[in-house]
Amino acid sequence: MGWNKVKYKTQNKLFSNINSGEYFYFANSFYVPITEFTIAYTEYGTHFSAALNKNNFYGVQFHPEKSGKAGLQILRNFIEL
């Protein structure tokens, strides 16, 4: 639980106008391992997926609504997809 840096694995429109390495707020102890659908990852004891994308489905492990300016940008980007 807390603020972790999120880094890109691949470029994706969900992270437009957000720098790789930006901090996002995480509030759980569950995680998804890094897979072929991982577009961003973080590290907390191990590397794991912070965001995934397959076709038109997106998921994030962090809470964008609690992640300040970067979280607001994620929400804007999602609306514009």
Tens digit of each residue's pLDDT (9 = 90 or more) over 4-48: 999 999 899 999 999 999 999 999 888 999 999 999 999 999 999
Tens digit of each residue's pLDDT (9 = 90 or more) over 44-81: 999 999 999 999 999 999 999 999 999 999 999 999 99
CB atoms within 10 A of CB 20: 12
Torsion of CA 72, 22, 7, 76, to 10 degrees: 10
Provide the residue type at 49 as one letter.
S
Sheet of strand 47-54, all strands in order from the earlier edge strand to the far edge: 22-26, 2-8, 38-43, 47-54, 57-60
Class of domain 2-80: alpha beta
- Residue 1 confidence (pLDDT): 82
